[in-house]
Chain A
Amino acid sequence: MARALISVPARARRGEIVEIKTLISHAMETGHRRNQLGAPIPRDIIRRFVCTYNGAEVFSADLHPAIAANPFIVFSTVATESGTLAFHWTGDNGFSVTESAAIVVE
């Protein structure tokens, strides 16, 4: 059950820089750990995070196993127009989660 927590202001003034915080549930298995029997546990991580603003990409990140479990990413974007901020995480084993938040820009 993937869950994500997004923090983004609901309203902003045009041109204002808004800070966005994202937190998603994911173990980020590094691929370096071994189980009780000594067999390696295969890598299973989120590899890419993309934020789009009314469809245009405004921020993205390529993630590696050194990103801590339950990846937390804080970034910013300029409030240009009202609309939708979409957040898309993809990774190993077909992992794909999309969340969105509305923003009103006045």
Chain B
Amino acid sequence: MRRICLIVGGLVAAVSAVAGEIPDAQRRSGYEFMSRETRAMQDDDTANPGLLWVLEGEALWSRRAGAAGRACVDCHGEARTSMKGVAARHPAFDAARGRPVSLEQRIGVCRTDRQQAAPLAWESRDLLALTAYVARQSRGLSIQPLIDARTAPFLEAGRAAFHRRQGQLNLACSQCHDDHWGRRLAGNVVPQAHPTGYPLYRLEWQSLGSLQRRLRNCLVGIRAEPYDYGAPELVELELYLMWRARGMPLEAPAVRP
């Protein structure tokens, strides 16, 4: 009797695994679902519009700001060395705040606390430029958000959010991106939703944008009320998505349709 239960239990577990998370070996970046032309646009630094924001960010890196009269370079030196790996491990735990923060929030904290300057608005040109410049320094590196006792609860909250049905369409992220990736939704291929390229130039936006902008788009798409920029729910979801993409190389700034 026990043996039969174990076998049945094993079968149920196997079925759940198949219907659940994508096995590591089958994970593919959104890059692989794009057309040849869009991939070429990302691969060519002289054709990728995201690089325009990186250039602006490079200029901002040396610009003094705020009451403290400090530029990023004054504390951090050359971004090429000091920022290497930073984007690949965000969202990261912020001890002062007792919770993980996204890369944009991290830059925002430096701006208000260290530079004593007015905060940069979400999705503003300057914030996107600085984020793009910092993220560019992690291009090619493996995504590795640090999961430990402090961040684990937030990871679980993000995981729960990813699997939770919501919105008028009553859809969970996992239903499209775990169960039906590779299939088509209204002429577009459904990707696996790995944030391998953020911030990225989205052709639909005709602009560079953040992961939170994309997540809000998805929420609007399933007719759910989108969380505000900077909301803890979005950061938890970001953390889960980055953990889900662990080991995959960062492509920032990517291009996506």
Contacts and interface: CB of A to CB of B under 8 A. Distances in A.
> Is there a contact between chains A and B in the complex with CB atoms less than 8 Å apart?
yes
Interface of A: 1, 3-5, 7, 21, 23-25, 27-28, 68-70, 72
B46 A1 contact: no
Contacts of A1: 56, 59, 125
Contact of B55 (A5, A7, A69, A72): A5
Interface residues of B, number: 12
B49 A23 contact: yes
A5 B46 contact: yes
Contacts of B82: none
B47 A72 contact: yes
Contacts of A25: 49, 52, 56
Contacts of B47: 21, 23, 72
B52 A70 contact: yes
Nearest to B208: A70
Q: Which among A5, A21, A28, A68 has the highest number of chain B CB atoms within 10 Å?
A: A5
B55 A3 contact: yes
B26 interface: no
Nearest to A24: B52
A21 to B, nearest CB: 5
B46 A21 contact: yes
Contacts of A28: 206
Contacts of B130: none
Contacts of B56: 1, 3, 25
Contacts of A68: 206
Contacts of B125: 1
B54 to A, nearest CB: 9
A5 B206 contact: no
B62 interface: no
Interface string B45-77: 111010110011001000000000000000000
25 contacts: A1-B56, A1-B59, A3-B55, A3-B56, A4-B52, A5-B45, A5-B46, A5-B51, A5-B52, A7-B46, A21-B46, A21-B47, A23-B47, A23-B49, A23-B51, A24-B52, A25-B49, A25-B56, A27-B206, A68-B206, A69-B49, A69-B206, A70-B49, A72-B47, A72-B49
